[in-house]
């Protein structure tokens, strides 16, 4: 039971200096029990995240699955371990202690999850559960992180996710791969101070040494050593485990003269301990460097100007649909379609003359359904600039008819009797190259579709204006960019705007968004 006074008191006695953190964690976990949610707990290494969360989940009687992302090199063992822990029960010797439930993909996970929360017979549905992902920064950049955080809502089960990571949500590790996710509730556990380290090390020595094993006056001597050593060593590292290892190596040498019954002057004590201190510090620094490099602890966080999570504008109200510039609305629709559809589906969506042979058989249909579910769970994928422009002009030509006359011809008010053929079929063939060129390829003539936009489209959608609007959306963080210059060829973009906002924009433009989404 969450917030049980006896359990909380035992936890706070076991983990000193984290009393307030345990209370905050209990409140956050209790809030997330009602339905599917995502909680991020981040902090530097050796701040007690793994040990405290594991102990709290067990003490509070929470149904949970604890998974270390470092130990899972592929999605299959992670998903199988998740299902096995939520189902409960021990592994059997007859099956070679193998997990009794196979799960190879996120689509299979969605099928199997409801059975874990369904009550047997007349029994009520089981309570909510948590999936704890330790070292979650290892999943940054993969579709698995996005899929797991959405699995509870997609399967309509009370499955919440607790991420334990070293970096905050606004760090580079997460910002490049979580554009489609709303920022989760966040708890931050700061590194221990010098006084807190001293208190924790004293507590561990009292609880680990057998009764009567410590010599007389050892507590005062140990505290004197910590008071002199820890504040100085903490300037080099805030890792509690590193400090504890150094203390374990140096304290016997510090106490040796006392055990021998000799009294040494301060200069003699310094000459005796200093070489050992230098050697231990050098050894600890040498062993800590590869670990820091492996786990990516040196990933820099964005500055103050980048504190907001990219894609945070995706939570804007639908009123945004009427406030955006005209060209920007179509660009957001084009970017959303490009982020959701595969490049191979563009011709089937936008080319009216395309005819693809229908698939036959129930298995083919099931594969399409699974592919669509996995694509939705993975979220938006990156796309090149040229492909976004192709889709933009195809959408614009198909739905913008304010300046289009009868028969699909656009009348240029500035031309002397000039009428350009601006029919839907012609524009679509221009944008998609009539199948001669893939939608994501580099267009001929240095322009989208290899045609003269100034002579084909109205003034508000000239190529330069579209590129300016695209750059503005990147600055507003409605689109994210990977690469150098925003308009450089080969730069990849990703749309992080939520589906509800995109549908509001589509409704404002009278565009049926579902007609252009082809997830499988």
Give yes or no for a contact between 427 and 408, defined as CB atoms under 8 angstroms apart.
no
* Assigned token pair, 415: 């031309």
Per-residue pLDDT of the chain (520 residues; tens, 9 = 90+): 555 688 899 999 999 999 999 999 999 888 766 677 899 999 999 999 999 999 999 999 888 999 998 888 788 888 988 998 888 766 666 555 555 667 888 888 888 888 888 765 455 566 789 999 999 988 877 778 888 888 888 888 889 999 999 988 887 667 655 556 778 889 999 999 999 999 999 999 988 887 766 666 788 889 989 998 999 889 888 999 999 999 998 888 888 877 765 666 677 767 777 777 777 777 665 554 444 443 333 333 323 333 333 333 444 445 566 678 888 898 999 999 988 888 877 777 777 666 665 555 666 666 767 777 776 777 788 888 888 888 888 888 776 644 444 333 333 333 333 333 433 334 334 444 433 333 333 333 333 343 344 445 555 556 778 888 888 888 888 888 775 555 556 678 888 888 888 888 988 888 888 888 876 5
User: Which residue intervals of 379-438 are DSSP H helices?
Assistant: 385-399, 424-432
Residue 244: CB partners within 8 Å, gap ≥ 6? Answer: 201, 204
Give yes or no for a contact between 503 and 320, defined as CB atoms under 8 angstroms apart.
no
Q: How far apart are CA 372 and CA 66, in angstroms?
A: 28
Please provide residue 121's backbone torsions phi and psi, each rounded to the nearest 5 degrees: 65, -125
CA-wise closest residue to 41 among 189, 173, 181: 189
CA angle 274/196/164 to nearest 5° reads: 110
Give yes or no for a contact between 474 and 480, defined as CB atoms under 8 angstroms apart.
yes
Strands 64-68 vs 129-134: parallel, antiparallel or unpaired: parallel
Give yes or no for a contact between 40 and 163, defined as CB atoms under 8 angstroms apart.
yes
Task: Strands of 138-285 (E only): list them.
Answer: 159-165, 185-188
Biggest alpha carbon distance in the chain?
Answer: 110
Q: Could you give all domains of the chain from N- to C-terminal order, each with its CATH number?
A: 5-188 (3.40.50.300), 194-295 (no CATH), 312-516 (no CATH)
Strands 383-384 vs 38-42: parallel, antiparallel or unpaired: unpaired
Task: Strands of 295-429 (E only): list them.
Answer: 383-384, 409-411, 419-421
Give yes or no for a contact between 101 and 366, defined as CB atoms under 8 angstroms apart.
no
As a whole number of Å, the end-to-end CA separation of the chain is: 44
SS3 139: helix
What is the pLDDT, as a whole number, of residue 472?
86
CB atoms within 10 A of CB 504: 18
Between the CA atoms of 456, 459, 465 and 470, what dihedral angle is there, to the nearest 10 degrees? Answer: -70
What is the pLDDT, as a whole number, of residue 176?
57
Question: pTM for the whole thing?
Answer: 0.57
* Assigned token pair, 508: 């404002």
Q: How far apart are CA 48 and CA 355, in angstroms?
A: 59
Give Cα separations from 141 to 136, 137, 172, 307, 323 (angstroms).
Answer: 11, 9, 10, 19, 32
What is the pLDDT, as a whole number, of residue 327?
85
Give yes or no for a contact between 197 and 233, defined as CB atoms under 8 angstroms apart.
no
Q: How far apart are CA 107 and CA 111, in angstroms?
A: 7
What is the pLDDT, as a whole number, of residue 439?
36
* Assigned token pair, 469: 């609007």
DSSP 8-state assignment for residue 34: S
Give yes or no for a contact between 511 and 334, defined as CB atoms under 8 angstroms apart.
no
Distance of CA 465 to the CA centre of its chain: 33
Task: Strands of 127-247 (E only): list them.
Answer: 129-134, 159-165, 185-188
Please provide residue 496's backbone torsions phi and psi, each rounded to the nearest 5 degrees: -110, 15
Residue 207: CB partners within 8 Å, gap ≥ 6? Answer: none
Q: How far apart are CA 56 and CA 44, in angstroms?
A: 19
* Assigned token pair, 117: 């929360």
Q: How far apart are CA 375 and CA 116, in angstroms?
A: 24
Task: Strands of 122-267 (E only): list them.
Answer: 129-134, 159-165, 185-188
What is the pLDDT, as a whole number, of residue 385?
86
Distance of CA 304 to the CA centre of its chain: 20
Q: How far apart are CA 463 and CA 465, in angstroms?
A: 5
């Amino acid at each position: 039971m969450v917030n049980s006074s006896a359990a909380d008191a035992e936890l706070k006695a076991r983990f000193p200096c984290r009393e307030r953190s345990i209370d905050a964690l209990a409140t956050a976990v209790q809030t997330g029990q009602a339905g599917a949610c995502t909680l991020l707990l981040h902090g530097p290494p050796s701040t007690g995240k793994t040990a405290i969360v594991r102990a709290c989940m067990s003490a509070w009687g929470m149904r949970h699955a604890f998974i270390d992302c470092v130990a899972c090199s592929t999605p299959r063992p992670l998903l199988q371990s998740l299902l096995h822990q939520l189902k409960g029960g021990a592994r059997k010797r007859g099956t070679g202690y193998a997990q009794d439930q196979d799960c190879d993909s996120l689509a299979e996970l969605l099928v199997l999850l409801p059975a874990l929360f369904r009550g047997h017979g007349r029994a009520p549905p089981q309570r909510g559960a948590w999936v704890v992902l330790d070292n979650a920064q290892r999943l940054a950049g993969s579709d698995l992180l996005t899929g797991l955080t959405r699995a509870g809502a997609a399967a309509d089960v009370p499955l919440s996710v607790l991420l334990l990571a070293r970096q905050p949500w606004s760090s580079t590790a997460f910002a490049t791969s979580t554009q489609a996710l709303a920022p989760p509730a966040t708890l931050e556990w700061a590194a221990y101070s010098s006084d807190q380290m001293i208190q924790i090390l004293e507590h561990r020595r009292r609880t680990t040494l057998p009764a009567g094993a410590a010599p007389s006056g050892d507590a005062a001597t140990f505290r004197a050593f910590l008071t002199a050593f820890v504040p100085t060593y903490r300037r080099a590292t805030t890792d509690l485990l590193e400090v504890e290892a150094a203390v374990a190596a140096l304290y016997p040498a510090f106490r040796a003269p006392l055990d021998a019954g000799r009294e040494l002057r301060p200069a003699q004590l310094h000459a005796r301990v200093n070489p050992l201190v230098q050697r231990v510090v050098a050894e600890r620094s040498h062993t800590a460097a590869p670990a820091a490099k492996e786990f990516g602890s040196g990933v820099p966080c964005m500055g103050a100007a980048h504190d907001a999570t990219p894609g945070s504008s995706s939570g804007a109200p639908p009123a945004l649909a009427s406030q955006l510039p005209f060209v920007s609305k179509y660009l957001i629709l084009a970017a959303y379609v490009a982020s959701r559809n595969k490049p191979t589906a563009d011709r089937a969506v936008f080319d009216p003359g395309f005819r693809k042979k229908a698939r036959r058989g129930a298995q083919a249909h099931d594969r399409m359904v699974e592919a669509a579910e996995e694509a939705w769970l993975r979220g938006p994928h990156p796309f090149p600039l040229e492909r976004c422009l192709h889709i933009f002009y195809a959408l614009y030509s198909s739905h913008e008819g304010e300046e289009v006359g009868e028969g699909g011809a656009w009348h240029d008010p500035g031309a002397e009797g000039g009428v350009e053929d601006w029919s839907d079929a012609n524009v679509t063939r221009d944008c998609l190259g009539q199948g001669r060129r893939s939608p994501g390829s580099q267009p001929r003539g240095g322009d989208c579709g290899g045609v003269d936009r100034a002579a084909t489209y109205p003034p508000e959608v000239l190529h330069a204006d579209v590129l300016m609007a695209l750059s503005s959306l990147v600055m507003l963080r409605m689109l994210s960019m990977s690469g150098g210059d925003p308009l450089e060829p080969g730069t990849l973009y990703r749309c992080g705007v939520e589906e509800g906002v995109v549908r509001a924009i589509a409704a404002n433009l009278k565009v049926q968004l579902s007609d252009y989404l082809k997830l499988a």
